[in-house]
């Protein structure tokens, strides 16, 4: 489906700043363009404490916090230093939490300006962390890691429960040593904390010849099964037993073998699972209808560096060919990898500038092609988006030299115009993770838009809560589409149920009159580092509070 068909209007173009024209010849096309029931009690801070420690096995909830600073770049969390035996890991905020009862108080009406930096990709780093299990000697350094995310902390603890060690030698860097794994079964408590934990199954199988992994947790959006993961592993010769809430994997004939794997749907997680298994399998694996997402590309590049004898072609297309190593040679650490920017966080701040209004909000450190579908829609709604060289470009020895800044100008709430329709689809289409945020922007725009969700069922919870702010939204029977008619929003108390829905409510509060209280930020903390500090740094009136 063409972008113009997807949004129902002409696709625009991002205007390149000086020195940017022709800089991205490989990019895809041209970028275009109800009151509160309880009151906040204790103000915590705009950038909450930066780390926490707890004894998980004993249930000890004592925490040590160091004060954080408000501002554009809050310090990273310390994830863990040293290794602990299973069930006794030092808990980061991923398990102990920043306070599940915390809320964000948003006072709408401020225009947003200044510069906000995009963190490393959450979805990319979770797969990369799983893949480090293939390194049977040495250490692996991951840079540009959003170490403050609860999902990252939880995935680190999944690795530690297997015998890996993790440390943070510098802000934004994780050093992993997986050379001495002690078990093929990660702690189910930690696995249950996030859906991406199932990604450890394939590297454990490839490394140890077996794996037992509990069915994962994470956002409760539809069924989100792992059937395609298991289908792909079976094609490569894995034996699969499912029962008692766990999946037990083994190798038929004692080895994984290359095979043709065709997916009925281009699942990101399933493609990543097969990539990791195929990297150490004997022979050639061809994945058709593969996911094309940037996070899959990032994992493929990492595996090519990590696994001697492995070569991967076709990344970013629907057909990926993997020449596996056959398990030969030491998969040594000693490598460093720079995590790609988080395209959904970049899209989040583009949405913030659009809904609140801006004279030139700078979203810094973006891969231009990765946010094209998002920028296309916002430009059609009346935003101006320009690109320029990134202030982050080439930072450090492992910097990303392909970054740009996007400068957003928007007239603000009530002045944007709706697109007739929008439909989510796999990359390079409009991302499902941005659908709730776009619904917030559409709720304040002129006209009517029909939003259709095709990736996940039951992903209209943001629309239900937006109606508490006064939004005019009709949700179709079955919950796969919604008709949004733009109007003004009025602050109220709302509650988060998943990551993207939660941040969509925060974004809506930027345009609502009065005060919006977004409860239960534990979901938002899974995917955004220091969101309150970043928003405050560009002019939003936001405060994080503990609720009674």
Q: Which residues are catalytic?
A: 219
Listed residue (336, 284, 352) closest to 312, CA to CA = 284
Beta strands in 324-420 (DSSP E): 335-338, 358-366, 384-389, 404-410
Asked whether 505 and 440 are in contact (CB, 8 A), the reply is yes
Pairwise CA distance, residues 470 & 489, whole Å: 5
Pairwise CA distance, residues 504 & 501, whole Å: 5
In the numeric block, the tokens 């829609």 are attached to 377
Asked whether 355 and 440 are in contact (CB, 8 A), the reply is yes
Pairwise CA distance, residues 535 & 107, whole Å: 12
Count of CB atoms within 10 A of residue 454's CB? 16
Pairwise CA distance, residues 2 & 10, whole Å: 10
Instruction: List beta partners, residue 448.
Output: 485
Tell me the CA distances in angstroms from 233 to 185, 195, 197, 270, one per residue in order: 17, 18, 16, 9
Pairwise CA distance, residues 280 & 322, whole Å: 10
Listed residue (386, 481, 397, 501) closest to 440, CA to CA = 501
365 CB contacts (<8 Å, ≥6 apart)?
A: 117, 118, 341, 390, 391, 392, 400, 403, 405
Beta strands in 402-492 (DSSP E): 404-410, 421-423, 448-452, 472-475, 481-485
Pairwise CA distance, residues 270 & 293, whole Å: 12
Report DSSP state, residue 74.
P
Pairwise CA distance, residues 504 & 463, whole Å: 9
Tell me the CA distances in angstroms from 254 to 41, 135, 231, 326, one per residue in order: 59, 20, 18, 12
Beta strands in 411-491 (DSSP E): 421-423, 448-452, 472-475, 481-485
SS3 of residue 438 by DSSP: helix
The torsion angles phi and psi of 232, rounded to 5 degrees, stand at -65, -40
Q: Which two tokens stand for residue 505?
A: 């409510």
Q: Which two tokens stand for residue 360?
A: 């030139």
Query: How many helices, marked H, and strands, marked E, lie in the chain?
Result: 16, 25
């Amino acid at each position: 489906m063409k972008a113009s068909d997807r949004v129902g209007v002409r696709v625009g173009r991002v205007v390149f700043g000086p020195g940017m024209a022709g800089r991205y010849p490989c990019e895809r096309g041209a970028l275009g363009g109800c009151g509160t029931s309880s009151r906040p009690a204790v103000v915590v801070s705009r950038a909450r404490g930066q780390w926490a420690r707890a004894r998980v096995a004993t249930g000890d909830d004592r925490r040590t916090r160091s004060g954080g600073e408000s501002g554009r770049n809050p310090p990273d969390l310390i994830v863990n230093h040293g290794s602990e035996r299973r069930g006794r890991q030092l808990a980061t905020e991923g398990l102990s939490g920043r306070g599940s009862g915390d809320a964000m108080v948003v006072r709408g009406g401020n225009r947003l300006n200044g510069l906000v930096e995009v963190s490393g990709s959450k979805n990319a780093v979770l797969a990369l962390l799983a893949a480090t299990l293939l390194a049977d000697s040495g250490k692996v350094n991951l840079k540009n890691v959003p170490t403050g995310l609860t999902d990252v902390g939880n995935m680190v603890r999944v690795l530690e429960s297997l015998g890996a060690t993790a440390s943070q030698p510098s802000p934004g860097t994780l050093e992993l040593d997986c050379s001495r794994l002690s078990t093929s079964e990660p702690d189910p408590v930690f696995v249950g904390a996030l859906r991406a934990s199932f990604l450890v199954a394939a590297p454990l199988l490839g490394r140890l010849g077996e794996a037992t992994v509990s069915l994962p947790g994470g956002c409760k959006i539809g069924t989100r099964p792992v059937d395609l993961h298991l289908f792909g592993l079976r094609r490569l010769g894995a034996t699969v037993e499912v029962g008692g809430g766990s999946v037990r994997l083994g190798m038929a004939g004692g080895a994984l073998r290359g095979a043709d794997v065709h997916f009925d749907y281009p699942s990101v997680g399933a493609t990543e699972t097969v990539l990791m298994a195929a990297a150490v399998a004997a022979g050639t694996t061809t994945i058709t209808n593969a996911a094309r997402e940037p996070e899959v590309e990032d994992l493929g590049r990492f595996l090519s560096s990590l696994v001697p004898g492995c070569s991967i072609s076709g990344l970013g297309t629907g057909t990926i060919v993997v020449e596996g190593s056959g398990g030969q040679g030491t998969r040594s650490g000693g490598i460093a990898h720079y995590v790609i920017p988080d395209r959904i966080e970049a899209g989040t701040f583009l949405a913030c500038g659009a809904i609140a209004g801006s004279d030139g909000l700078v979203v810094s450190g973006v891969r231009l092609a990765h946010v094209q579908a998002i920028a296309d829609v916002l430009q059609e709604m009346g935003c101006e988006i320009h690109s320029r060289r990134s202030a982050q470009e080439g930072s450090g020895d492992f910097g990303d030299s392909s970054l740009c800044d996007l400068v957003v100008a928007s007239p603000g709430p009530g002045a944007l115009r709706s697109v007739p329709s929008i439909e989510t689809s796999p990359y390079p289409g409009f991302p499902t993770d941005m659908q709730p945020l776009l619904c917030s922007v559409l709720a304040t725009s002129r006209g009517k838009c029909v939003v259709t969700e095709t990736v996940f069922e039951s992903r209209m919870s943001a629309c239900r809560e937006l109606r508490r702010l006064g939004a005019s939204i009709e949700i179709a029977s079955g919950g796969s589409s919604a008709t949004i008619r733009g109007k003004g929003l009025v602050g109220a108390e709302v509650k988060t149920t998943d990551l993207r829905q939660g941040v969509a409510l925060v974004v809506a509060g930027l345009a609502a009159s009065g005060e919006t209280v977004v409860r239960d930020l534990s979901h938002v903390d899974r995917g955004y580092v220091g969101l309150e500090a970043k928003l405050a740094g560009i002019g939003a009136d936001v405060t994080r509070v503990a609720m009674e």
